[in-house]
A and B are shown apart, each in its own frame.
Chain A
Amino acid sequence: MRPEPEADGEIVRAVLAGDRERYAQLVERYRDRYARYAARMLGSADAAEDAVQDAFVRAFDQLSQCKEPDKFVGWFFLILRNRCFAERRRSRTETSLEAAETVAAADRTEGGAETAERRRALQLALMALTPDQREVFVLKHVEGLSYGEIAERLSTSVPSLKMRMHRAYDKLREQLREHT
């Protein structure tokens, strides 16, 4: 019988009590789960790696401010989200073409050149959205969350998310038509 995985809250409390090595369990548990979100938000696996790493270190530094240890992952997500948004503000002027190439390159073995090209075009179009628009698209269509789940995670309303998303659809269509 496999042992039950230890709850996040237990690990957080152990780390706060001084057992900092236990923090590795949280990193292992959520590292890759949020890597994809960061990669699609930032358009680059390298940028995602930096963002996820920074977010985990920042979360450790601020762990005593995690008021609900059992909800560590939601709290961590907001730290990572802030980091991703800050990164985009910092590098707004940079071209994302190279970044989209990086993301698409990793997929070429999975679905052939055509799939890779379509993914690359969409990733480029995604980078033309505002971070808010891109985030709701990524959470719904990459991460598979419902509008209700996204609203809860971002503390906003479903109608507001839908408005953001519908603008994103139009902009993506415009971008894809212009560049394909």
Chain B
Amino acid sequence: MSEHEFHPLVKQLLDGDITLAALPPELRAEGEEALHLLAAVDRSPVQLPAVSRRVMRAVASRPARSVWRRVVEPRDVRLRIRPWLLAPALAIAAALILFLRPAPTAAPGSLITVRFVLVAPDAHEVSLAGTFNRWDAHATPLVRSGPTGVWTATLTLAAGQHQYAFVVDGVRWVPDPGAPAVDDGFGRRNSVLTL
């Protein structure tokens, strides 16, 4: 044992397992030295009031949270359809989200193929913006199929919660009235998709 090592009983004292009185007389001085060390521990609080403002400023600058997860396992095919109603200015419009591989008990990390369908006969272009593409209104265009104005896009998304909206003609952001929606903090409503 080096000259700097505390006696094992003194270490028990430091741990709070025994009291100074429980030490044999020859270890009392060493015990007092150890307690003197602990008495110098600085337990005064540290306050960082500026952190809140800085964190929230950074949070506000985030375009969206990333919700991407890894592929882990395939799942059974199921179909669910949600009606979509657009604003009157877009005439008759409806959106369907066809879940090709979802399940209510989605395991975290699994991937689900989701087909987004928007019926918008008067639209010239439609895209999808959401947490899954960093809210890039140009990253995920829907493709028009046929003269009926059906626009579709098929994505593979991680199990979990996503927020999204359709962007019609590059300017009109339309949430899904058939899905839960939340305020995005900037005056718009985002649809919430839980896979």
A→B interface (CB under 8 Å): 16-21, 23-24, 27-28, 31-32, 35-36, 38-40, 45, 48-49, 52-53, 56-57, 60-61, 63-65, 67, 103-104, 106-107, 110, 115, 118-119, 121-123, 141-142, 144, 147, 162, 165-166, 169-174, 176-177
Contact = CB atoms under 8 A, between A and B. Distances in A.
Contacts of A39: 46
Contacts of B69: 64-65
B66 A103 contact: no
5 contacts: A52-B51, A64-B160, A142-B43, A169-B34, A170-B2
A16 B160 CA distance: 10
B76 interface: no
Contacts of B87: none
A153 to B, nearest CB: 17
Contacts of B26: none
Interface string B153-191: 000000011010000000000000000001111000010
B21 interface: no
Most chain A CB inside 10 Å of its own CB: which residue of B2, B5, B46: B46
Interface of B: 2, 4-6, 8, 11, 14-15, 33-34, 37-48, 50-52, 54-56, 58-60, 62, 65-67, 69, 108, 160-161, 163, 182-185, 190, 192
Nearest to A147: B15
Contact of A61 (B48, B56, B66, B161): B66
B59 to A, nearest CB: 5
B44 A56 contact: no
A142 B65 contact: no
Contact of B46 (A21, A36, A119, A169): A36
A45 B51 contact: no
Contact of B161 (A27, A45, A64, A165): A64
A99 to B, nearest CB: 13
Given A57-B58, A60-B62, A162-B15, A141 B38 contact: yes
A121 B40 contact: yes
Contact of B14 (A45, A115, A169): A169
Given A39-B46, A63-B65, A18 B58 contact: no
